[in-house]
């Protein structure tokens, strides 16, 4: 009985880092999904107005693809981390060493999270470039009043 308790205690200790990591992955996923929902809502609004093939629609579609990719990588990282946690406890119950497999799964989860962050960065950077082009096209920097008017027009 003491051996089982000791193995479970070790499993809990080994699971602390992946559990925190899983929390970070879900936080990233929440942020990316919120942005994707905003892009999709704007795309639906544009499509409803009959402007589904406009330049703005193409920009939104590109952003949606980047964000979808980030979501896919985040979900895969979450699955990898969850599998790591499950295998850690399973290995403790059957008294099997798990550190090598845990290392591989943690590297996979970290790599997938990195890919997700890269896609998220690409989407943010792309949107900033689009905004910069819109500002340049409008004749220069915008002040607080003009920014407020732009927000009202988009709403």
Domain ranges in the chain are: 2-154
Confidence of residue 152 (pLDDT cuts 50, 70, 90): low
State pLDDT tens for residues 116-144: 999 999 999 999 999 898 888 887 665 55
What confidence score (pLDDT) does residue 24 get? 94
Write the DSSP assignment of the chain as a string of letters: -HHHHHHHHHHHHHHHHHHHHHHHHHHHHHHHHHHHHHHHHHHHHHHHTT-TTSHHHHHHHHHHHHHHHHHHHHHHHHHHHHHHHHHHHHHHHTT---HHHHHHHHHHHHHHHHHHHHHHHHHHHHHHHHHHHHHHHHTS---HHHHHHHHHHH-
Confidence of residue 151 (pLDDT cuts 50, 70, 90): low
Greater confidence, 47 or 154? 47
> What is the residue-averaged pLDDT of the chain?
85
Residue 155 confidence (pLDDT) above 80? no
Confidence of residue 95 (pLDDT cuts 50, 70, 90): confident
């Amino acid at each position: 009985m003491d051996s089982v308790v000791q193995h479970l205690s070790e499993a809990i200790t080994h699971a602390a880092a992946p559990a925190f990591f899983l929390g970070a992955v879900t936080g990233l996923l929440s942020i990316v999904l919120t942005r994707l929902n905003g892009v999709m809502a704007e795309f639906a609004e544009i499509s409803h107005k009959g402007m589904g093939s406009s330049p703005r629609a193409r920009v939104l579609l590109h952003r949606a693809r980047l964000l979808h990719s980030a979501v896919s990588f985040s979900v895969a990282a979450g699955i990898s981390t969850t599998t790591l946690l499950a295998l850690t406890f399973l290995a403790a119950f059957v008294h099997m060493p798990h550190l090598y497999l845990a290392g591989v799964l943690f590297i996979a989860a970290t790599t997938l999270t990195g890919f997700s962050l890269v896609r998220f960065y690409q989407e943010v950077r792309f949107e900033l470039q689009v905004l910069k082009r819109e500002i340049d096209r409008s004749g220069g920097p915008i002040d607080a009043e003009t920014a407020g008017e732009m927000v009202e027009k988009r709403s």
